[in-house]
């Protein structure tokens, strides 16, 4: 069995241009939509950086309004070539390999506002046992994490029904207990309420308090 602490992970987190972010939350969030998108990304990045198995976080974005706050948190920000999500992820992964060629590389969605460092560590420990692995989203349709061992091809297949594409590509689906916060991405008001039930990070909680002051 591999020692998961022998190499800590480089995690690549893609952040959309804010004008295009969280459009399905527009009706519920109104003028707070872009602020919420930044807050959610900040909580995701903060939790990832706090995970003991994460060596670095590489944010891929074309939006300076997101790049600034995420850089302040400690993320390494690289420009998004604006050729789609998976190209953005491959761009971040290439940067990670240049920085730390001996470390495993993972892609993590940016919309995990309830993410817990300990739960992410559980997922990364499980992923370290396989050449490539992924975590399905809470609906078992999409993907929230995809990772590969050091030196292996990084072939993310995010977007839409990505769970089936990652399975077809030979990645191991990680069905482990206690990683609910890793699976709970947020695209809709119902998703946000489900994340609230798990416990939001501080940045997102502050925006939600303005959205729904009564709780």
pTM as predicted: 0.92
Residue 14 within any structural domain of the chain: yes
pLDDT, one tens digit for every residue, the chain (215 residues): 344 445 799 999 999 875 555 565 655 555 567 888 899 999 999 999 999 999 999 999 999 989 999 999 999 999 999 999 999 999 999 999 999 999 999 999 999 999 999 999 999 999 999 999 999 999 999 999 999 999 999 999 999 999 999 999 999 999 999 999 999 999 888 899 999 999 999 999 999 988 776 54
Alpha-carbon separation of residue 168 from 152, 189, 207 (angstroms): 17, 31, 38
Residue 4 within any structural domain of the chain: no
Q: What pLDDT, in 10s, does the model give residues 102-154?
A: 999 999 999 999 999 999 999 999 999 999 999 999 999 999 999 999 999 99
Residue 3 within any structural domain of the chain: no
Number of domains in the chain: 1
Residue 140 within any structural domain of the chain: yes
DSSP 8-state code for residue 126: H
| Residue 204 annotated in ligand binding | no
Residue 1 within any structural domain of the chain: no
How many CA atoms within 13 Å lie on the side-chain side of 22?
A: 31
Q: CA–CA separation, 96 vs 12, rounded Å? A: 8
Residue 135 within any structural domain of the chain: yes
- Residue 109 domain boundaries: 9-208
Residue 2 within any structural domain of the chain: no
| Residue 159 annotated in ligand binding | yes
| Residue 214 annotated in ligand binding | no
Residue 87: which CATH number? 3.90.550.10
């Amino acid at each position: 069995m591999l020692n998961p602490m022998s190499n800590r992970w480089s995690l690549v987190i893609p952040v959309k241009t804010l004008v295009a972010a969280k459009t399905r939350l527009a009706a519920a969030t109104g003028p707070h939509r872009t602020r919420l998108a930044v807050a959610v990304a900040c909580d995701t990045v903060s939790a990832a950086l706090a995970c003991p198995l994460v060596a670095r976080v590489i944010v891929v974005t074309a939006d300076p309004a997101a790049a600034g706050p995420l850089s302040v948190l400690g993320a390494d920000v690289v420009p998004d070539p604006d050729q789609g999500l998976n190209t953005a992820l491959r761009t971040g992964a290439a940067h990670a390999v240049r920085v730390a060629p001996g470390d495993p590389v993972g892609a993590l969605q940016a919309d995990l506002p309830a993410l817990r460092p300990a739960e992410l560590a559980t997922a990364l420990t499980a992923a370290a046992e396989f050449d490539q692995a992924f975590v399905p989203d809470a609906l078992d349709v999409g993907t929230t994490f995809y990772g590969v061992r050091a030196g292996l091809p990084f072939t993310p297949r995010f977007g839409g029904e990505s769970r089936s594409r990652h399975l077809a590509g030979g990645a191991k689906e990680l069905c482990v207990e206690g990683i609910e916060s890793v699976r709970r991405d947020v695209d809709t008001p119902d998703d946000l309420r489900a994340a609230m039930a798990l416990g939001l990070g501080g940045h997102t909680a502050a925006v939600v308090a303005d959205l729904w002051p009564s709780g």
